[in-house]
Structure 1
Amino acid sequence: MTGFVSAGFRGLAALRRAPAFHPVGVVLRGELRAIADDLPWPAAPVPVVARLSKGAGTPGRLPDALGLAVRIPGAGRDGGPWDILLTTAGSGHLGRMLPRPAAAWTRGAYSSLAPYRRADRLVWLGAWAAASAPRIEASLDAARAAGKWEFVIRTGREDGRWCDSALLTLTGTGGDAPAFDPMLNRPPGLEFAPDWLVRLRERAYAGSRAGRVRVAAKP
């Protein structure tokens, strides 16, 4: 099963000459500031790189599973980065595990879909645009023109509660997007769960990486 997953994602990434899903996006830069200590956030505000993208790559402002990726330098294992990938989804017990197409970047919830395991409990990550944010249609052109973005990052508990955990402010655009990979780049003591899903996601990300490398290696 995992071999088919890896091969499928490798082929799709090679065909698209980009990540298998969320193939194109808008690179943003800003700052993350922790407001709680429920996850291993940096102790002080830290500069971050983020990317807004459309999962299937639908054109224009057509709805899609929208993505918010954030790289926190130095917050991962051995001084590496911590990559957080979130996708538009519901916010309830079941909905937070299922991607949901959205028609705007600033409406509804983004979710990690799969929970992290920290010690003996499961924790989801989610993000919501600030309540004062204007509606920004789900197009990459609209995202580029938006200017300032503010998101509240929340942790979701097994009982369904969401608690404010960090503030993400994005004010600049441009530059190259890093190769976000939440499976490789995460803090010590924070693992994904359940194990069977972890194995599938690891093969999917490995396949996507291999497909991009194969394309890059061609003359």
Structure 2
Amino acid sequence: METVKAGFRGLAALRRARAFHPVGLVLRGELRPVADDLPWPSGPVAVVARLSKGAGTPGRLPDALGLAVRIPGAGRDGGPWDLTLTTAGSGHVGRMLPRPAASWTGGAYSSLVPYRRADRLVWLAAWGTVPRIEASLDAVVAAGGLGFVLRTGRQDGRWCDSAVLTLTEIGGEAPAFDPMLNRPEGLEVAPAWLARLRERAYAGSRAGRTS
């Protein structure tokens, strides 16, 4: 585990940025829950989000695209809840594997691993709700924002609408998203060994950015 932390710390220090998804665009908007299958806020809430490219490819070149969202007050002890999703497939295997995409709105973003809530596993994914926007941060700025529908996935492969995310305001400072530290009580990342691995990776990336 310490080797993982050291590796991510070194990469973040070398880049002087996040180990992965080093360059991104901050957006602000609203998240509106439409189901109660995850511990969403009771109503619409203002959120801050970040779109990013995993490897930092320039311009509109395809990359593993990232969508991070911070929901204030929805985490443990009144803290934030951070969601981090990456372009992937939507099938049983595909939703676990990052996949390069040529458009911000052309496919699924996945949590890659499930959450455990009570006695069941719940996957989280997002699909764009606006016309195709190529995989360039400048293209998002030109479009003036974008929207997503967030869906939860069951072990049988079904997806159900869970929340709607609308991002309309561009700019501002990005928070240090960390889905391992910032999540609701009773919502655990599964399996446990992978959760520990991800915790060390995020800790290493944070340490590298500040060293």
TM-score bracket, shorter-length normalisation:
over 0.9
Alpha-carbon distance in 1 for matches of 2:24, 2:18: 11
- Following superposition of structure 1 onto structure 2, how do residues 13-24 of structure 1 map, counting pairs within 5 Å? 13-24=12-23
- Name the counterpart of 1:136: 133
Structure 2 length normalisation: TM-score? 0.99
- Name the counterpart of 1:60: 59
Letter in 1 for 2:163: A
- Name the counterpart of 1:5: 4
- Following superposition of structure 1 onto structure 2, how do residues 1-219 of structure 1 map, counting pairs within 5 Å? 2-130=1-129, 133-214=130-211
Unmatched 5+ residue regions in structure 2? none
Q: CA deviation at 1:213?
A: 1.4
Q: CA deviation at 1:148?
A: 3.3
Alpha-carbon distance in 1 for matches of 2:141, 2:14: 26
Alpha-carbon distance in 1 for matches of 2:15, 2:116: 33
Alpha-carbon distance in 2 for matches of 1:120, 1:186: 18
Partner deviation per Cα, 1:53-111 (whole Å, 9 max, x = no partner): 00000111110000000000000000000000000000000000000000000101000
Q: CA deviation at 1:120?
A: 0.5
2:105 touches 2:128 (CA, 8 Å); kept in 1? yes
Alpha-carbon distance in 1 for matches of 2:200, 2:98: 19
- Name the counterpart of 1:217: none
SS of residue paired to 1:134: coil
Letter in 2 for 1:143: V
- Supply the RMSD in Å over aligned alpha carbons: 0.6
| Percent identical | 82
Alpha-carbon distance in 1 for matches of 2:102, 2:15: 23
Q: Which runs of 4+ in 1 moved over 2 A?
A: none
Q: CA deviation at 1:3?
A: 1.5
Alpha-carbon distance in 1 for matches of 2:141, 2:184: 30
Structure 1 length normalisation: TM-score? 0.95
SS of residue paired to 1:32: strand
Unmatched 5+ residue regions in structure 1? 215-219
Alignment coverage as a number of residue pairs: 211
Letter in 2 for 1:146: A
Partner deviation per Cα, 1:103-134 (whole Å, 9 max, x = no partner): 0001010000010000010111100011xx22
Alpha-carbon distance in 2 for matches of 1:146, 1:12: 32
